[in-house]
Structure 1
Amino acid sequence: MLAKNKIINLISTGFFLFINFLFLLKYSSRYVDNFILLTFVFLLIQLIFLVLIEKFVPDDFTLTAKTKYYLLLVPLAVFYGLILSYAPQETRVSRADAATLWLTDLLNGVFPYGTEKNPSGFPVNFLIIYPFSLAGNTGLLQFFTMLSLFFLLIRYSKSLKELLFRGFLILSSVPLYYELVVKSEIFSNAFLFLLLMFIILRKVSDEKWSASFFFSAILAGLLLSTRLVIFPMLLLFLLYKFRNSFPKILSFGLIAVIAFLLTLLPFIIWNSERFFSAGPFAVQSIYLPPVLMGVIIILSAYSGWAAANKYELFFSTGLMLFISIILSFLITVSDTGLYESLFNDRFDISYFNLCIPFFIAGIYEYKVDYFLGKIMPLGEEDQV
């Protein structure tokens, strides 16, 4: 998994640990004096466990009876449930407050954008949260997201080593516990797109037109109405999945954009001036200059075209997200300084959580790296 010639796994694991480093450094500083030492000790322990999995779990130990591994979801559900139950209701950072206020304003007939909490998400982002708000705890969204991610890991891991490696990354992930505690929906947004990618790869033909094609395009459009960053992710995916059919790329993209625009139409009609001046476009577009955003879109398109298999697709998606976010972070650091950016919340490092599900999904046991070097016909992705 971590051999020196396995570039994808090394980069994915390295960036994952870097994100852990940022979160632990920032939030442990609020509770302990020796937070720097604590951060490095924790990272060292993570590395030791990963090396132990690499060295002592046999490569050929396959998951012949996956049913027993699904039973792991029961203690995991209890574990995450306890964290959610005992998490403080009031935290310094609470995305749930912004989501709850948006929903409350909408239901009371008040235009939900440009308010005190300055909600930045597109409409579907909050509508996804709504059922969990009715249940009395928006953190349930993150709870089910974590369990669903583990289910996917068990379903698509080909060996015990893959399962243990990926599973340990999740269980030791400080950012994911942060998501549970502050009831953030950022990781859930990314996971839903990853889930849609899995579904389309398995159920939608890249040659034949079908009802599943059009239904998937509509779902993609709805996910576009969560965060602006989904756009380059979708472009990357379409150029991988339908690289041999330009009409399908165009049709899928057009349907998705129409579905996306339809979710915005009621708010544009309601108050167009406020929607465009204080809504999600205004808030989310400030993180990167247009030139850099254009570069990211071009790199995303190339990465989707060049990815050799589905694992490289997942890795490419995580990498493009990481590059976008780290560039935005570095711009903020250059403007305000590292201390202000990291410790005084001038930059929201929770956006790094968008990368995590894709980096984890892109880690697998393989023999040769093809990333950005060879285009393989679709359907051969599992032969690498």
Structure 2
Amino acid sequence: MIKLFMNLPDSLQNNLEKWGVFFIYLFINGLFVAKYGGHFSFYLLPVYSIAIFVIATFYIKINLKDLVYKYLFWILIGLFFIFSVGLNNYVDGNSLNVDRWDAMEVGIKALFNNHYPYDLKDFMGRESSNLPFLIVLGMPFYLLFGSVGFLQSFSFLLFSYLVFKIFDHYKLRLAALVLLVLSPSYLWEVYTKSDLLSNFILVIGFSYIIWAQFIHHKKIKIEWVSILTALIFLTRLSVVIPLIVILFKAFYKFTVREKLRFISVFILVVSGFIYFFFRNAANWDTILEHNPFTIQGSKQPLFLSLSYIVMAVILAFKVKSYFNIALFSGLVLFIAVFIPYLLYLVEYGYENIMTNSFFDLSFFNMSMPFLIVSLIFILKRNFNISKK
């Protein structure tokens, strides 16, 4: 299927990319509108879809001076950052049906009190599934501001910085932020203090550093690439998909000595973190019964999980630009969630999926940063964007 797509005429492939990515963006956000729109979702869903389509159309057709987009870009950053901070202060996490924020805080408190972090319960009675480095990422915000929810506010600033670096026109930069702040799936993340989308903003930031500073210009040593890869890997198991897309081709071309250096440093960093986080476990049985790897383990057939890995490996050898990295990572991450979503839908029905939350829709947010960046690349390629 991938080979067939790659062999399509350029114009047809371009249209499939353009409308396919845009449809996926609308589909993910439409699910959140349908789930959280309540009795009004029947009306809100078409209104939202039409509004996004109209906004996109006018944005493409109207060309203002670059200075106008520059002012709007920085104003939007400031306003949304203040909004996200205020929302985090306003929302009581204990009133939510989402416990990702508390799972992270439980892990942080456990580490500072020399406790094993993975057999403790959060306010919803669940154990933390956060991998070690994700807990570390939440520490500065918990220590400085008293809440890991502020991670979302600062990850927004990181995303803003990334689009500033990746794109050279303020119209494109502003478009990326508009797509993000008009995304109900992202607003849900900010409201619920969830760390999922923030995690993948970090991943896309890593992917850009590796592309710009290692694959493209060779400014970073292999050891540092290995360290960064290990840290990203220790946030969520699902990051293995974009990691493969970004690095597998480069790793394949390494010499035997370079491969050994990369693997050795990777194992050393991962082992160090695992030892630090697991050292306070009462015994080996506690580790086997209570650990994040078991909780994050795939909830779908093994052959499906392996098929996503194979897909990522194949696509890694098709990478020719950073656009390819963003597009391929976003698409595989989306497929990896969409297929189990369909399986759950068939088995449990729409009511149980959407109303009774048998399936966690937030997993779709893993692909959102990659999809938004892909859409801006498509916008740049298909329409005349120039400074005035």
- Give the TM-score of the pair, scaled to structure 2: 0.83
Answering whether residue 63 of structure 2 is matched by residue 57 of structure 1, we say yes
**C-alpha separation in 2, matches of 1:351 and 1:168:** 21
Match among 58, 82, 85 for residue 81 of structure 1: 85
How far has the Cα of 1:40 moved from its partner? 1.9
The residue type equivalent to 1:132 in the other structure is F
- Count of aligned pairs: 360
CA distance in 2, matches of 1:178, 1:353: 10
- Tell me by how many angstroms 1:257 deviates: 4.0
Distance (whole Å) between structure 2 residues aligned to residue 113 and residue 81 of structure 1: 29
For each residue in 1:202-246, what CA deviation from the matched residue of structure 2 results, as whole angstroms up to 9, or x when unmatched?
Answer: 2225686x7643123112101111111112321211135556435
Q: Would the aligned equivalents of 1:267 and 1:275 in 2 still touch at CA under 8 Å?
A: no
CA offsets per residue over residues 299-318 of structure 1, 9 Å max, x none? 00111111221111111001
CA–CA separation in structure 2 for the residues paired with 1:301 and 1:198:
18
The verdict on how the C-alpha distance between 1:64 and 1:38 changes in structure 2, with shifts beyond 3 A counting, is closer
Does residue 125 of structure 2 align to residue 112 of structure 1? no
* Contact 2:196–2:365 (8 Å) recurs in 1: yes
Post-superposition Cα deviations, 1:91-142, rounded to whole Å, max 9, x if no partner, equal 1223112212222233333322133322111111111111211221211100
Deviating more after overlay: 330-339 vs 340-349: 330-339
Mapped contact 2:73–2:170 kept (Cα < 8 A): no
148, 169, 180: which one aligns with 1:138? 148
Match of 2:348 among 336, 345, 348: 336
Against the structure 1 CA distance between its residues 281 and 148, is the aligned structure 2 distance closer, same or farther, given a 3 Å change threshold?
A: same
Matches within 5 A, 1:191-210: 191-204=201-214
Q: Residues 129 and 138 of structure 1 are in contact (CA less than 8 Å); yes or no, is this contact kept in structure 2?
A: yes
The answer on whether the counterparts of 2:70 and 2:170 sit within 8 Å (CA) in structure 1 is no
**SS state at 1:306 partner:** coil
Q: How does 1:23-34 map to 2 (within 5 A)?
A: 23-29=32-38, 33-34=39-40
Segments of structure 2 that go 5 or more residues without pairing to the other structure are 1-10, 383-388
Partner of residue 382, structure 1: none
Instruction: Measure, in 2, the Cα distance between the counterparts of 1:193 and 1:254.
Output: 22
Residues 121 and 280, structure 1, Cα contact 8 Å, conserved in 2: yes
% of aligned pairs identical? 24
Question: Quick one: which amino acid aligns to residue 202 of structure 1?
Answer: A
1:221 maps to: 230
User: Does 2:19 correspond to 1:10?
Assistant: yes
Aligned with 2:163 (options 146, 149, 153): 153
Q: Equivalents in 2 of 1:54, 1:348: separation in Å? A: 34
Letter in 1 for 2:87: I
User: Does residue 92 of the first structure (1) align with residue 97 of the second (2)?
Assistant: yes
Q: Tell me the equivalent position of 1:377.
A: none
1:41 maps to 47
Gap runs ≥5 in structure 1:
369-384
- Residue 12 of structure 1 and its aligned partner are, at CA, apart by 2.0
Q: 1:235 aligns with which of 244, 255, 261?
A: 244
Q: Cα gap change, 1:71/1:328 in structure 2, threshold over 3 Å: closer, same or farther?
A: same
Cα displacement (A) at 1:62:
6.1
User: Which one is further off, 12-21 or 277-286?
Assistant: 277-286
Q: Distance in 2 between matches of 1:250 and 1:356?
A: 34
Q: Secondary structure at the match of 2:46?
A: helix
Higher helix content, 1 or 2: 2
Over aligned residue pairs, what C-alpha RMSD do you find?
Answer: 2.7
Alpha carbons of 1:153 and 1:181: their partners in 2 closer, same or farther (altered >3 Å)?
Answer: same
Q: Is the 8 A contact 2:108 2:139 kept in 1?
A: yes
CA contact (8 A) 2:69 2:170 kept: no
Alignment partner, residue 172 of structure 2: 162
